[in-house]
């Protein structure tokens, strides 16, 4: 009798052990397939080889959630695409009338007018020009985001690119009392990048320094392909620095800006395989763009 009881217990233990192993295998399969479905842009669902009813119910529930997630993702992508197209169209439609306004204001300046009238015209022209510049920036951002701007990688000398960009901003920097300190390695740092996109990235970083610098700017290029823009920025704090790359984020000290400059720089840098980060420490802002080998 005792032998029969022991045999039954052994069979039961074996059955339970096999059940546990099968359940663990099914759980691992669910985890693996769920990770794949979430990371890949695919319409396939979780497929289980187990015959366990509860595991199959779990798989079916996860598949329902996957279907819902994909529907929401599709709606988001469609809405995001429509928003980008709307921004592109609106900014494009604004460019023509703004150009006409600026042209008529230039013609108006040639007409005789009182001192007050001329001052008002100058103020209108100033604001119209600023609005035109903002519209151009918005249009550029919408084009960059839509991936309609094809990038053509070619061999680019980062040393020369930094020098050229610094030369282009030298007058604006010195007008603000900023004497840029440019530091580069002796060897030339070569990367396969789109020349125009790189120029845009560097221009936006120099423009950012113009907005936030307390009167100094150090630009350092390393042999590893990192370009760091460092300057004192007492008006900033860590929370604001953390939002510098957010679309449309601006500060009072940056009036007249769309808040898109760094967002455009980050998008272009990432499309070229690089990255941009911002760090704020001891009152100094450091924005670093990196293009690894």
Q: What percent of the chain has pLDDT over 70?
A: 85
Beta strand segments in the chain, E: 154-157, 181-183, 190-193, 218-221, 226-232, 275-281, 284-290
- Interval 234-292: pLDDT, tens: 877 788 877 777 766 665 544 445 567 888 888 899 999 999 998 888 888 899 999 99
Selection from 53-57, 138-142, 148-152, 197-201 with the highest mean pLDDT:
197-201
Per-residue pLDDT, 166: 92
Tell me how many degrees the CA angle 108-110-116 measures, rounded to the nearest 5: 65
pTM: 0.61
Stretch 166-176: mean pLDDT: 91
Nearest C-alpha neighbor of 261 from the set 279, 280, 287: 287
- Interval 80-90: pLDDT, tens: 677 667 767 77
Stretch 39-50: mean pLDDT: 74
Distance CA 103, CA 124 (A): 12
Q: Which residue has the higher pLDDT, 11 or 163?
A: 163
Q: What are phi and psi of 116, to 5 degrees?
A: -65, -45
Q: Which fold has domain 154-290?
A: Heat Shock Protein 90 (3.30.565)
Q: With 90 as the cut, is the pLDDT of residue 156 above it?
A: yes
Distance CA 178, CA 209 (A): 10
Stretch 99-117: mean pLDDT: 85
pLDDT-derived band at 132 (thresholds 50, 70, 90) equals: confident
- Interval 56-106: pLDDT, tens: 788 788 888 888 888 888 887 777 677 667 767 777 777 778 888 888 888
């Amino acid at each position: 009798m005792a032998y029969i009881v022991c045999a039954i217990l052994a069979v039961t233990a074996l059955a339970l052990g096999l059940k546990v192993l099968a359940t663990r295998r099914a759980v691992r399969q669910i985890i693996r397939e769920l990770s794949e479905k979430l990371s890949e842009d695919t319409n396939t669902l979780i497929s289980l080889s187990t015959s366990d009813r509860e595991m199959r119910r779990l798989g079916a529930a996860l598949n329902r959630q996957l279907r819902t997630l994909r529907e929401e993702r599709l709606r988001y992508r469609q809405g995001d695409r429509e928003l980008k197209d709307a921004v592109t169209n609106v900014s494009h439609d604004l460019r023509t009338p703004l150009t006409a306004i600026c042209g008529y204001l230039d013609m108006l300046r040639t007409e005789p007018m009182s001192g007050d009238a001329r001052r008002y015209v100058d103020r209108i022209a100033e604001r119209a020009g600023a609005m035109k510049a903002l519209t151009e920036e918005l249009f550029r951002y919408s084009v960059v985001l839509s991936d309609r701007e094809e990038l053509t990688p070619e061999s680019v000398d980062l040393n020369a690119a930094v020098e050229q960009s610094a030369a282009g901003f030298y007058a604006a920097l010195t007008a603000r009392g900023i004497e840029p300190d440019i530091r580069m390695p002796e060897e030339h740092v070569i990367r396969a990048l789109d020349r125009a996109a790189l120029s845009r990235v560097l221009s936006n970083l120099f423009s950012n320094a113009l907005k936030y610098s307390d009167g100094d700017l150090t630009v350092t290029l390393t042999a590893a392909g990192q370009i760091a823009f460092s300057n004192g920025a007492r008006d900033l704090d860590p929370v604001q620095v953390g939002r510098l790359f957010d679309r449309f984020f601006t500060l009072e000290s940056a009036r007249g800006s769309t808040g898109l400059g760094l967002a455009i720089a980050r998008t272009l840098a990432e499309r070229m395989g690089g990255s941009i980060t911002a760090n704020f420490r001891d009152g100094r802002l450091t924005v670093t763009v990196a293009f690894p080998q």
